[in-house]
Structure 1
Amino acid sequence: MIGLGTYAFFWQHSDQVPEPLSLVGAFEATMALDVGVFQICDYAPLESMDDAELTDAAAAARDLGLTIELGTKGIEPDRLARFLELAGVFDARLVRSMLYSPDNRPTLAQAEEWLRSALPAYEASGVELALETYEQVATADLVGLVDRIGSEHLGICLDPANVVARLELPRDCVEATARHVKNVHVKDFAFARQPGWVGFTYGGAPMGDGLHDYPHLLETVQPRENGVNEIVEHWLSWQTDAATTVRTEREWTRRTIEYLRSTT
């Protein structure tokens, strides 16, 4: 299914706009676009909400008919245990994470130990854990880790845009991870010359205008055939002022949804 994530509302949630959008406001905006999945991903306020606030947010999602997924950074045992609790509150069946958190950079051996410790509880709860492809960990190392652990509840959140920063090719990342993908982050990306033609900027692009060969991803991973959700997000730079930035962010979201609905 197509879903939106908090990164599709990055500027709308931020304190750079006069009236930042609430989490429930993002839920409502998602349903207004006839999208039924929302991924609360790297959304800092989630971890400071009290029990009543969490219960209210989860109830709002249920009332709207939204399926919720969760996302965090890091695989420390306490973090994974907490997000499994949050998954229970939101009836979420997937938690996306990354090997590194702001405070910890485990070796692959330590990561394997922590994941093996955490996964039995995830398996018992029917919740999947998806580790994202990104520039700080080689895709081959991430795939090897998932292979060694061999749990049906551990897989990969595929974001081929991220790996370009370690000089990996997006198509190679897609092909290497395909059999393990449990979640897809959808955004387009491109290079642009810096002013004066000195270097490049690597950033977001409207879906379909950039370098992402999304038809190749669909053919290789087959997310729709395999029940893997496609979560829309953006790399959108600030656009001169708040009104323009929010308008552009909303337009990119609308365009990405239309793109996904037009592809088979």
Structure 2
Amino acid sequence: MEKYILVTESGTDLPEDLAKQHNIYVLPMHVVMDDVDYKDGAIQVTEIYDYHKRTKKIPTTSAVNPNEYEELFNKITEENPGCIIIHIGYSSKASCTYQNAIIGSAGMKNVLHVDSLNVSGGEAAIVLKAANLIENFSDIEPMDLVEKIEQYVKRARVSFIPGDLEYLKAGGRLSNASYLGATILQIKPVVEILDGKLVVTQKYRGSIKRVAEKYVNEYIDKWNMDREQIYFIYSLGLDEEIKKRVELIAKEKGFENINWIKTGCVISTHGGPGAIGVVGFLKV
């Protein structure tokens, strides 16, 4: 019987208690402010917000590097002889993290990789599905396990509304003209993760309090989602009343389990304060 061990990155925003519960290794990505390189999680998200307020810039974020992967893969292998490491990586379409993991595992036959084609809570949801598969089917063959995880990748449906467009503008992802227009008209873009890429698919007008309910209702109705589980992604600064209201919507629509995933430093750097997102899986 093989012992499976899961590895992912901090860009999953996987809650620490769930990582410990399922023995999942989480490698920190990097955040650079004032020429100082911080590991994601080593500083508070509020420091990201303070930095932007002070400089009108956002920090630079970077991937886990190949050496960091190699070191962890070797450590796990030495401590768990005969184990199979399943690395579920941050979308290869959004970062070089996944490619760095492949480089870091060169020559290691016990390391298998799955491209989540997702970020933040979308990736976390896939990692947790993998953990459940391992716990429920401990004798599953490695390639069968990878195939089942990849099926969840295909079924994942993820979107979010950035909390503050100022952060997208500061990061060069939004022009000044677009930013001014969106701000004046109170436009809230919906960003979906499609084939691993972040794509604006819809726009709402109004305050986030007004928009959030409509967004969640319409996004759930857009897809035939499995009602067993839904995740909401949020960044620090989202109004508690919004959280309560969208959770009630999910309950009314029949979701059995509802969990919230708070974004860490890497994701909050790009989404800004007060972002909200939805993660679910298509029904089989």
Does TM, normalized by the shorter one, top 0.5? no
In terms of fraction of residues, the more strand-rich structure is 2
Q: Which has the higher contact order (CA 8 A, sep 6+)?
A: 2
Looking at CA atoms only, which structure, 1 or 2, has the larger radius of gyration? 2
